[in-house]
Amino acid sequence: MNEHDLVLPPAALVQEERLSILCVDDEELILKALTRTFRKEQFKVLTARSGEDGLEILKNSKSIGLILSDEKMPKMNGSDFLQAAAKIFPDIPKIILTGYADKNAAIDAINKGGACHFLTKPWNDQELLQLVRDCLHRYGLARENQRLLTVVRVQNEKLAGWNSSLKERVLNLVQERIDELNKSHLELLRRLGTAGEYRDNETGLHNVRVCHFSRCIALELGLPESEADLLFNAAALHDLGKIGIPDSILLKPGKLDDAELNIIRTHCEIGSKIIGDNQSPLLKTAASVALTHHEHWDGAGYPRELKGSDIPLSGRIVAVADTFDALVTERPYKEPWTVAEAVKEIVSSRERRFDPEIVDAFLRALAEITAVHHQFTERR
């Protein structure tokens, strides 16, 4: 092995596979309309008249990057088809089309079939095109992230095999490569985390503030600086799952109804699934934070109604940091609260929503947290 083994070929960084989309509907006219809508796009369009035919296409294709399925079909409805499709392609985005205003069907498609969006017929061509482009782009980002994670793992395995007797010059070179790779890896994770924030928060600064707030609280709790830094980086992915929530819900200026609340609450599990089960301490912590930062100390949170110390410490810390920033920041549905109002709300939720020790640590770190809030608030 030599130092050139550590360098990723430039072609591998820019090569992009052309993806296809699969449209499934029992009506031939609908499939033709969809094909016409996508005729000028760069991706290939595959069609199927039934869920069964769609599954056969999936089994024989490796380039599909998105599924667009009707809900109401004979024999196998859209939710059942997407559930079966997820066993073949578990990670690709899925959009459900429904010709009737049935929110329960849409929720079933999301919960059972793993759909990330739903549209009603007749659809708006431009809205559908933009949604498909966004889904394919995000899927490409996720695949690229996984590819880079594989590169990191392979490179680390290569490094582990180096003989300890190598000369100091070579070891220094190796360390430089590792540092560069780790910096790129962290930057990719931060950018991926910010992708979910750009859709409902200023310019992604919410993510930056929550990372800093979480680190301040962790240090006040007495955690080692290394663990506080780990949480700082993991917190960047706390709302990653929002990329799977429809804009109509995420950007709604008014109060959400029960069905919409059920949908938006899925962002915790969506984010955790995107990060996946990984041996990296950073990604393990990030997956835990994404899943548990909306759990409550009294067990009334979601998605798993964990209680007390059953909630991972990282999730409990980010819960306070995230809530404080949400309160003092303008959102589509609210004006910003003052710092004093936000602190009062967090203190009133002590032992109910938040771990009392973390609330105390938050109060001790409030001066530093407030300074961070002012530093990373976009001036309009």
pLDDT in tens, 144-201: 888 888 888 888 777 766 655 555 665 555 555 545 555 555 555 655 655 555 555 5
Report the alpha-carbon distance of residue 114 to residue 356 in Å, rounded: 36
Q: Residues with Cβ < 8 Å from 171, sequence gap 6 or more?
A: 162
pLDDT at 79: 86
Indicate the SS3 state at residue 349: coil
**Same domain flag for 225 and 241:** yes
Q: Is residue 101 part of a domain?
A: yes
Indicate the SS3 state at residue 312: coil
**Same domain flag for 186 and 220:** no
Q: Residues with Cβ < 8 Å from 50, sequence gap 6 or more?
A: 24, 26, 73, 74, 75, 76
* Confidence grade of residue 9 (pLDDT, cut at 50, 70, 90): very low
Percent of the chain with pLDDT over 90: 35
pLDDT at 16: 42
Report the alpha-carbon distance of residue 288 to residue 376 in Å, rounded: 25
**Same domain flag for 46 and 94:** yes
- Residue 132: phi, psi to the nearest 5? -65, -45
pLDDT at 10: 36
CATH of the domain at 56: 3.40.50.2300
In 3D, which of 355, 360, 218, 217 has the Cα closest to residue 297?
355
pLDDT at 17: 55
**Same domain flag for 125 and 164:** no
Q: Helix and strand tally (H, E) in the chain?
A: 17, 5
What's the whole-model pTM score?
A: 0.52
Average pLDDT of the chain to the nearest whole number: 82
| Alpha-carbon 264 to chain mean position | 12
**Same domain flag for 167 and 215:** no
Which residues are bridge partners to 69 per DSSP? 24, 96
Q: Is residue 209 part of a domain?
A: yes
Give the structural domain span for 329.
197-375
**Same domain flag for 23 and 8:** no
Q: CA 32, 35, 38 angle in degrees (round to 5)?
A: 150
Q: Order across the sheet with 44-48: list the strands.
A: 44-48, 20-24, 64-70, 94-98, 117-120
Compute how many other C-beta atoms are within 10 angstroms of the C-beta atom of residue 258: 9
DSSP code at position 110: H
**Same domain flag for 219 and 342:** yes
**Same domain flag for 206 and 330:** yes
Most confident of 69-78, 190-199, 360-369: 360-369
CATH of the domain at 289: 1.10.3210.10
* Confidence grade of residue 90 (pLDDT, cut at 50, 70, 90): confident
CB 97 within 8 A of CB 117: no
Domain count, the chain: 3
Q: What is the pLDDT of residues 251-291, one digit of tens each?
A: 787 788 889 899 989 999 988 888 888 788 888 898 999 99
DSSP code at position 237: G
**Same domain flag for 218 and 364:** yes
* Confidence grade of residue 140 (pLDDT, cut at 50, 70, 90): confident
Q: Is residue 380 part of a domain?
A: no
CB 237 within 8 A of CB 204: no
**Same domain flag for 124 and 270:** no
Pairing of strands 44-48, 94-98: unpaired
**Same domain flag for 251 and 338:** yes
